[in-house]
């Protein structure tokens, strides 16, 4: 496996030098992307995202629970990601590894730091708050799981309805109000391949990249960032990607309407 990856890597780095990508996309183009909301009835909110041949689903469950001790007046948001073994030969069964945890925490950070869910609005009464669980399941891995997962999570949250509350209890069968969402957060992930920076890497491009950079944006702010991989970026490269992320982020936001 490793030898094949090395050969393919050289081929892709060469291709980049000739100003080409393996699927003839522009450097800053997304693959075709679709978002479907409300694909599962069992979850309070759900969505499926297909980004090229990458496919992820997200489910939102809303439950009654107790707040964290240091935040007694706020609801709870919990985000996880599962790299299912059926999605890739390299994903193994077992507890989430560092890649799954990093993926979930990037998605979480974007939603949390932008107050996309107003956690104070989830307060019911003393020691009683709503808990929102966002779980992302990766079904098919062809690169850029971060953007696909963040988009699926956001779509599932927009789709989520809060069950009726009676005498401090949730009536799961009756879903009334939409979950209060203040804005749409999306992420743009870039790969550095050789000296070229490309948006939305495919899996073969990810194998050839030295480093990865994700910017989560709302229409006016960058609300989370994460660099990954052993390579490096310069601060100028990063600043230049801010405007690109706003522009491409708006394209993704349209898919969420």
Partner 1 sequence: MEKPKLLIDGKRCDGRAMNELRPLKIQAGVLNKADGSAYIEWGGNKILAAVYGPRECIPRHHASPYRAVIHCRYLMASFSTLDEHGRSGPNRRSIEVSKVIKEVFENVVVTEKFPKTAIDIFIEVLQADGGTRCAGITAVAVALADAGIPMRDLPCALAVGKIENEIVVDSGKLEDNYGDGDMPIAIAPRNNEILLLQMDGMFTKDELRKAFELAYAAFPKINALQVEALRAHYAVKKDEVGL
- Give the x-and-dash track for 218-237 against partner 1 (CB under 8 A): x-xxxxxxxxxxxxxxxx--
Choice between 73 and 177, CB closer to partner 1:
73
CB 98 within 8 A of CB 81: no
If one asks whether residue 238 binds partner 1 (CB under 8 A), the answer comes out as: yes
If one asks whether residue 194 binds partner 1 (CB under 8 A), the answer comes out as: no
Choice between 35 and 77, CB closer to partner 1:
77
- Minimum CB–partner distance for residue 4 and partner 1 (Å): 14
Choice between 150 and 224, CB closer to partner 1:
224
Strand partners, 182: none
Q: Among 76, 242, 244, 256, indicate the residue that binds partner 1 (CB under 8 A).
A: 242
Q: Among 64, 113, 140, 256, indicate the residue that binds partner 1 (CB under 8 A).
A: 113
How many positions of this chain bind partner 1 (CB under 8 A)?
Answer: 34
Choice between 21 and 212, CB closer to partner 1:
212
Q: Among 98, 125, 127, 166, indicate the residue that binds partner 1 (CB under 8 A).
A: 98
Residue 195 is given by DSSP the state T
Report CA torsion sign: 7, 8, 13, 16. Answer: positive
**For the chain, how many residues are written?**
257
- Minimum CB–partner distance for residue 223 and partner 1 (Å): 5
Choice between 38 and 228, CB closer to partner 1:
228
If one asks whether residue 186 binds partner 1 (CB under 8 A), the answer comes out as: no
Contacting range for partner 1; rule: CB under 8 A; set: 110-118, 125-133, 135-143, 199-207: 110-118
Choice between 62 and 223, CB closer to partner 1:
223
The bridge status of strand 128-140 relative to strand 76-83 is: parallel
- Minimum CB–partner distance for residue 232 and partner 1 (Å): 4
Report CA torsion sign: 228, 232, 235, 240. Answer: negative
- Give the x-and-dash track for 47-86 against partner 1 (CB under 8 A): ----------------------xx----------------
In order, the DSSP letters of 8-58 are: HHHHHHHHHHTT--TT---TT-PPPEEEEE---SSSSEEEEEEETTEEEEE
- Rounded CA-CA distance 60/46 in Å is 6
Q: Among 9, 105, 180, 207, indicate the residue that binds partner 1 (CB under 8 A).
A: 105
120, 173, 181 from 124: Cα distances, Å: 9, 19, 17
Task: Name every residue whose Cβ is closer than 8 Å to that of residue 189 and which is 6 or more positions away in sequence.
Answer: 144, 146, 147, 199, 200, 201, 212, 213, 214
Q: Residues in the site for partner 1, rule: CB under 8 A?
A: 69-70, 98-99, 101-102, 104-105, 109, 112-114, 213, 218, 220-235, 238-239, 242-243
């Amino acid at each position: 496996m490793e030898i094949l990856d090395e050969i393919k890597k050289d081929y892709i780095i060469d291709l980049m030098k000739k100003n080409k990508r393996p699927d003839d996309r522009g450097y800053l183009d997304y693959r075709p992307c679709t978002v479907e909301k409300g694909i599962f009835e069992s979850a309070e909110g759900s969505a499926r995202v297909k980004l090229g041949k990458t496919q992820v689903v997200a489910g939102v469950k809303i439950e009654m629970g107790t707040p964290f001790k240091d935040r007694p007046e706020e609801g709870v948001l919990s985000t996880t990601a599962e790299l299912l073994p059926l999605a890739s030969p390299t994903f193994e069964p077992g507890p989430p590894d560092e890649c799954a945890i990093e993926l979930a925490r990037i998605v979480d950070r974007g939603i949390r730091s932008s107050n996309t869910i107003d956690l104070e609005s989830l307060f019911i009464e003393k020691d009683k708050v709503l808990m929102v669980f966002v779980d992302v399941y990766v079904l098919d891995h062809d690169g850029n799981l971060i953007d696909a997962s963040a988009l699926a999570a956001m779509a599932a949250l927009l789709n989520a309805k809060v069950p009726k509350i009676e005498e401090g209890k949730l009536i799961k069968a009756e879903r009334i109000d939409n979950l209060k969402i203040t804005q749409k957060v999306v992420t743009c992930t870039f790969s550095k391949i050789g000296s070229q920076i490309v948006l939305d890497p495919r899996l073969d491009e990810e194998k050839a990249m030295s480093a990865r950079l994700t910017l989560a944006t709302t229409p006016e702010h960058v609300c989370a960032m994460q660099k990954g991989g052993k390579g490096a970026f310069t601060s100028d490269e990063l600043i230049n990607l801010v405007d690109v992320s706003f522009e491409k982020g708006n394209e993704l936001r349209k898919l969420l309407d």
